[in-house]
Amino acid sequence: MNNCDTQNISDPPPNARQEAKVPSPPDDLGKKVFFLYPHSIIQEDLINEILREEYEVYFVKDHLKAVGIFKKYPNSILFINIDAVMPEPKWEEYVKSLVNDPSLKKFKIGVISYNEDENVKNKYIQKIGLPCGYIKLKAGVKETKDLLLRTLIINEAKGRRKYVRARCESDVNAKFNVKIYDKLLTGDILDISSVGMACRFDSNIDMPVNASFPDIQLKLKGSLVTVSGKILGVRKNEYDRTYVILFDPGASSFIKDKIFSYIFKYLQSNLEAEMKTVV
């Protein structure tokens, strides 16, 4: 249970008492990063490292249905595990079909494999000309991570987007509570990133901009996270108020990893639901 008393809610300066203008979310200019049939080293060892760098990552495990998703998000990056599902020559055909598809001319592809055959590597890099290259997994975890992150930087995977967010208003399992004036208040998380969230209290309370809360408990699909933060802005309408809360930048990596994990799982579940609609 969270604790916050009157001494912990800071009074804003006089000029901050007006209704704050909450900036609209920036355009999602970053690219989606797809891993097709990701190796276990990606799923178990490297995913957290990639998420910490604020990349929007998805795992895809159906190469046929995936094509429809790729066409829906053609300004994306794809890493293909050519060790999975079918022999390498079939993967060559698959890769070429993507490369030669005019609707995917902005789509950037790379290959990930334990295969160290230089002829295979050169085929994908030189003959086919994949912009995201050929990543050998036998180089080790650190080397693979460094190469992946370098590839994402070179191919501008972030764009101008600084933080990945989950717009989770429809998620009934994204809740928060905080104790204010000895009363426990609850509410819904509308969207969340590693640096803050937009939320709505269940009761229509009026809180000032800059009010701070040392103990906010987030409930993210069964995972409990306790953060501190302050109100950055508020948007009011006739029925309720939406608050933008900025988390304490000194939050531990443990806390941030839990938030990253929720964002990844939420976005992943949305993608999987979307894939079910692909013909």
The model's pLDDT over 21-70, given as tens digits with 9 standing for 90+, comes to 334 344 346 899 999 999 999 998 899 999 999 999 999 999 999 999 99
What would the mean pLDDT of 7-27 be, rounded to a whole number? 35
What is the Cα–Cα distance from 182 to 68, expressed in whole angstroms?
Answer: 52
* pLDDT per position as a tens digit, 137-154: 876 788 888 999 999 999
pTM attached to this predicted model: 0.83
Query: What band does 114 get if pLDDT is binned at 50, 70 and 90?
Result: very high
Q: Does residue 18 carry a pLDDT above 50?
A: no
Task: Please give the pLDDT value at position 30.
Answer: 83
- Would you mind telling me the total number of residues written for the chain in this entry? 279
Cβ proximity of 272 and 260 under 8 Å: no
The stretch 112-117 carries a mean pLDDT of 91
pLDDT of residue 5: 34
% pLDDT > 90, the chain: 68
- Which comes out higher in pLDDT, residue 57 or 15? 57
The answer to whether 201 and 241 are in contact (CB under 8 A) is yes
* Domain ranges within the chain, ordered by starting residue: 6-25+165-272, 32-162
d(CA 163, CA 214): 23
pLDDT of residue 279: 67
The candidate with the shortest Cα–Cα distance to 85, out of 58, 113, 124, 110, is: 113
Average pLDDT over residues 13-27: 37
pLDDT at 3: 39
Query: Taking 50 as the threshold, does the pLDDT of residue 7 lie above it?
Result: no
8, with CB counted inside 10 A (0-12, 13-18, 19+), is middle
Contact 12, 208 (CB under 8 A): yes
In sequence order, what are the beta bridge partners of 151?
Answer: none
What's the pLDDT at 180?
85
Which helix (DSSP H) or strand (DSSP E) does residue 270 occupy? helix 253-275
Region 2-25: what's the mean pLDDT? 35
- The arithmetic mean of pLDDT across residues 252-268, rounded, is 94
Q: What is the pLDDT of residue 8?
A: 31
> Exposed, middle or buried by CB within 10 Å (0-12, 13-18, 19+), for 97?
exposed
CA 110 – CA 78 distance, rounded (Å): 6
| Region 126-139 average pLDDT | 89
What is the fold of 32-162?
Rossmann fold (3.40.50)
Q: Which CATH number fits domain 6-25+165-272: 3.30.980.10, 3.20.20.70, 2.40.10.220, 1.20.1250.10?
A: 2.40.10.220
Instruction: Report the distance separating Cα 245 and Cα 230, nearest Å.
Output: 5
Average pLDDT over residues 144-168: 91
